[in-house]
Chains A and B, each alone.
Chain A
């Protein structure tokens, strides 16, 4: 079980690092997907080892996959708009987001 959790932790950390360090918005989105999947693994693993009777964890995983897909759509739409407005998708164009 620990191996799964470590995998999830590593995956989550990679995703987190990507979110925090990537400057490309697409990259951030991709890192986010990694984090979702780490969570999904956690759900499945805990369902397998903690609550074996029901498929609650799996259900959640499926839900998250669906929601993540929708979220990706929304995120990509934002990226598209960012590109139209800024002619670029780097998060460095952040000066407009503060006072």
Chain B
């Protein structure tokens, strides 16, 4: 049973990463081949795991190792393979493999070719680890790893200032969400005592946790999803993330990493089911995001940015569907939301990955992102154009492509809530419109920039093959979820009880008509030009400007968040520079001055005292040394005088008797004698040598 070895699926790309970083760095081709080999091996394993999971009828397989095992708290590292995981594994490894193969062509001649593949491998490791994790603690670790690799890859061309800014923006913005996620994790650890999915969800089911706690924990966990899946109000990083190389956009910012937020919500659905309020918040945020992003996408001119907003919009779709499921289920209703959200996640990965890779192919050919400078490219690059249009049909929800089936389920999930239904259909219309606006402007019509058109060429085979493969997937991937199937996607990936979809032809028809009308409008405006796009823009100028400037979110954030933060930082800097540094430097200055004083004191007073006492002793000795004549007679005389003096003093009676003057005379006489003798001895001593030499 290969499932037992499913932990190898994430480890394979990690192995690739390590090998490239340590051994293959200088061998570009080899590192690319090695990286692709590991992801292909992971893909094969994922397929086997999927087959085995199907054979188990979706029964979950869990294996873990407890590395913190306390009575009230358990931390484990392990894998959980259930249908959701199996599907995600397929999505990640398939798109990952396609992107890696595609990158060989796209990134050729890049000075950091090997590093690119190393990063991709590291990303795939993180993403696959996130998918197979069996507890919240592990998913958080991989969650952050994914964020890190995203940062590295957005800033892959860090020489470009915009790329460097974008990667910082992405990292910091998602960190906001992750902070919430972390708080959610703390709440889970505190109130549930375990991180294990099963353990947490069992406690929700038991009803021992207060409802408010469940609501708060779910919303905090959802914060992580908001950041990672670029939901309003943290969506601003994803469009900027398009500064990264296009394969990165395809892999990370379209198909897999941004889906991690959706995956997290789907994974912790039992938590959300426990709280209708939290689920409603999820659904509303999804709807707002989706609507807002789709409307912005209508007017953007950067091919990748349109796709980025499309991604945000589609992710909002999924989040909304999941939220609606949680809301309905919390109120004991039935909803296809869970199935719709995960199914859309699965189909979206293929066609959105394809769209990005196609956009990359176009950019590779014309060296610009601006669709206003393209046009007519279908004649130059057939494969790219056709696959791109297939994906566009798919995302627009055209029968019978993959997007149709999943989008249809989302419409079905929203069908019980009028506001959501209207919103969903409106978004579907806008999606179809902006995608086909993109197609018409890029591939049809007359070339608007002749020079670029002349130099355009079809991309090499290793870039077009992944396109074709993904195009095929974009068509057929949805067929596993046909509503007529008895054992389709819905009966495999489900939460709680299996949902059995039934074909609702009315909804299908409506969503198909909406999609087609969107395409038709785009056709009229950008192909036939019977409705002038410029006139429309002129007529709805305020709205156009609002959309073109992305609702001014960046500007608002700049004014409301960044500027105050910068102002505070500026103030802090000034405070630091003036007050703190002033204090530090002032202390230093004072110390120097103080030590100057001490130096002076030391030199003149202390040393003066020391040297002075030495000097005094020296001077005294200089005087006293004359007593040290060396003449024995002098010494004898000295003894005699001292004896006499002491004798005189001793004989106090005598002194009293004869009176002080007499004693004084004797004393003076003695001293005079001593002086005379000293002199004579000294003089004689000096002459002594001469006398001797005369002899």
Q: Which A residues fall within an 8 A CB radius of B?
A: 16, 19-22, 28, 91-99
Q: How far is the CA of A19 from the CA of B631 in the complex (A)?
A: 12
Interface-side segment among B156-164, B291-299, B685-693 = B685-693
The 8 A-B residue pairs whose C-beta atoms are closest, nearest first, are A98-B630, A94-B630, A97-B630, A92-B688, A98-B628, A94-B631, A20-B633, A91-B632
Kindly report which residue of chain A lies nearest to residue B628, judged by CB atoms: A98
Task: Select one of A20, A22, A94, A96 contacting B629, CB under 8 A.
Answer: A94
B451, CB-defined interface residue at 8 Å: no
Question: Can you report 23 A-B residue pairs in the complex whose CB atoms are below 8 A from each other?
Answer: A19-B633, A20-B636, A20-B637, A20-B640, A21-B633, A91-B631, A91-B632, A91-B633, A92-B684, A93-B688, A93-B692, A94-B629, A94-B631, A94-B685, A95-B630, A95-B685, A95-B688, A95-B689, A96-B630, A97-B632, A98-B630, A99-B625, A99-B628
Query: Complex formed: what's the CA distance from A96 to B633 in Å?
Result: 15
User: Contacts of B692 on A, CB cut-off 8 Å?
Assistant: 92-93
Judge whether B632 and A16 touch: CB under 8 Å. no
Count of CB-CB pairs between chains A and B under 8 Å? 37
Q: Complex: how many Å from CA A98 to CA B633?
A: 14
Determine how close the nearest CB of chain A comes to the CB of B622; give it in whole angstroms.
Answer: 12
Main secondary structure of the interface of B (DSSP, over half): helix
Task: Report A40 CB to chain B, min CB distance, Å.
Answer: 19
Interface string of B224-237 (1 = CB under 8 A from A): 00000000000000
Find the A residue at minimum CB distance from B686.
A95
Complex CA–CA separation, A22 to B629 (angstroms):
16
Cα-based distance from A94 to B689 in the complex (angstroms) = 10
Q: Considering the complex, give the chain A residue whose CB is closest to the CB of B691.
A: A92
| Residues of A close to B633: CB separation below 8 A | 19-22, 91
How long is the Cα–Cα vector from A99 to B628 in the complex, in angstroms? 8
List residues of B (614-638) whose CB comes within 8 Å of A's CBs: 625, 628-633, 636-637
Distance between B621 CB and nearest chain A CB, rounded to angstroms: 10
| Most chain A beta-carbon neighbours within 10 Å: one of B631, B636, B689 | B631
Cα distance A19–B684 in the bound complex, in angstroms? 16
Partner of A98, one of B629, B640, B684, B689: B629
CB-CB under 8 A from A93, the residues of chain B are 688, 692
Separation of A22 and B637 alpha carbons in the complex (Å): 12
Residues of A within 8 A of B637 (CB): 20
In the assembled complex, the Cα of A21 lies from the Cα of B640 at a distance in Å of 13
Q: Which B residues lie within 8 Å of A97 (CB)?
A: 630, 632
Residues of B within 8 A of A (CB): 625, 628-633, 636-637, 640, 684-685, 688-689, 691-692
A20-B637, A93-B692 known; 6 new pairs, CB 8 Å cut-off, are: A20-B636, A91-B631, A92-B684, A94-B685, A95-B689, A98-B630
Give Cα A16 to B643, complex, Å.
13
Q: Which chain A positions have C-beta within 8 A of B625?
A: 99
Shortest CB-to-CB span from B447 to chain A, Å, is 114
Residues of B within 8 A of A19 (CB): 633, 636
* Distance (whole angstroms) from the CB of A31 to the closest CB of chain B: 10
Min CB gap A58→B, angstroms: 26
In the assembled complex, the CB of A11 is this many whole angstroms from the nearest CB of chain B, namely: 16
Closest B-chain residue to A98, C-beta based? B630
A21 contacts which chain B residues (CB < 8 A)? 633
CA distance A98 to B621 in the complex (A): 14
Query: What residues of chain B lie closer than 8 Å to A92, measured between beta carbons?
Result: 684, 688, 691-692
Q: Which residue of B lies closest to A95 (CB)?
A: B630
B248 to chain A, nearest CB (A): 94
Point out the residues of chain B lying under 8 angstroms from A98, CB to CB.
628-630
Contact A94 B640 (CB under 8 A): no
Q: How near does chain A come to B672, taking the closest CB pair, in angstroms?
A: 16
A28 to B633, CA, bound (A): 9
Chain A's closest residue to B640 (CB) is A16
Separation in Å of the B643 CB from the closest CB of chain A? 11
User: Which of B628, B632, B691 has the most chain A CB atoms inside 10 A of its CB?
Assistant: B632
Chain B proximity of A10: nearest CB distance (Å): 17
- Measured CA separation A23–B691 after assembly (Å): 13
Q: How far is the CA of A22 from the CA of B476 in the complex (A)?
A: 141
Interface pair A94/B636, CB less than 8 Å apart: no
* Cβ contacts under 8 Å, A91 to chain B: 631-633
A96 to B625, CA, bound (A): 14
* Cβ–Cβ < 8 Å partners of B640 in chain A: 16, 20
The interface residues of chain B lying within 8 Å CB-to-CB of A99 are 625, 628
Instruction: State A21–B685 Cα separation when bound (angstroms).
Output: 14
Q: Chain A: which residue is nearest B688 at the CB level?
A: A92
A93 CA to B691 CA, complexed, in Å: 11
Bound CA span A94–B625, Å? 15
Q: Which residue on chain B has the smallest CB distance to residue A25?
A: B632
Which residue among B633, B637, B691 has the maximum number of chain A CB atoms within 10 Å of its CB?
Answer: B633
Also in contact, A94 and B688, with CB within 8 A (given A16-B640, A20-B637, A21-B633): yes
How far does the Cβ of B592 sit from chain A's closest Cβ, in whole Å?
A: 47
CA distance A20 to B678 in the complex (A): 12
A94 touching B628, Cβ below 8 Å: no
B689 surroundings in chain A (CB, below 8 A): 95
Closest chain-A Cβ to B638's Cβ sits at a distance in Å of 10
Residue in A22, A91, A92, A98 with the greatest tally of chain B CB atoms within 10 Å: A92
Q: How far is the CA of A99 from the CA of B684 in the complex (A)?
A: 17
Instruction: With both chains docked as a complex, state the minimum distance between the C-beta of B668 and any C-beta of chain A, in angstroms.
Output: 20
**Chain B residues in 8 Å Cβ range of A96:** 630
Residue of A nearest to B695 (CB): A88
- Min C-beta distance of A27 to chain B, whole Å: 11
Complex CA gap A95/B684 in Å reads 11
Q: Which residues of B contact A16 (CB under 8 A)?
A: 640
Please report the C-alpha to C-alpha distance between residue A92 and residue B693 in the assembled complex, in whole angstroms: 12
Tell me the bound Cα distance from A99 to B692 in angstroms.
20
Find chain A residues with CB under 8 A from B631 CB.
Answer: 91, 94
A16 to chain B, nearest CB (A): 7
**Complex CA distance for A37 and B390, rounded to whole angstroms:** 149
Closest to B631 in A: A94
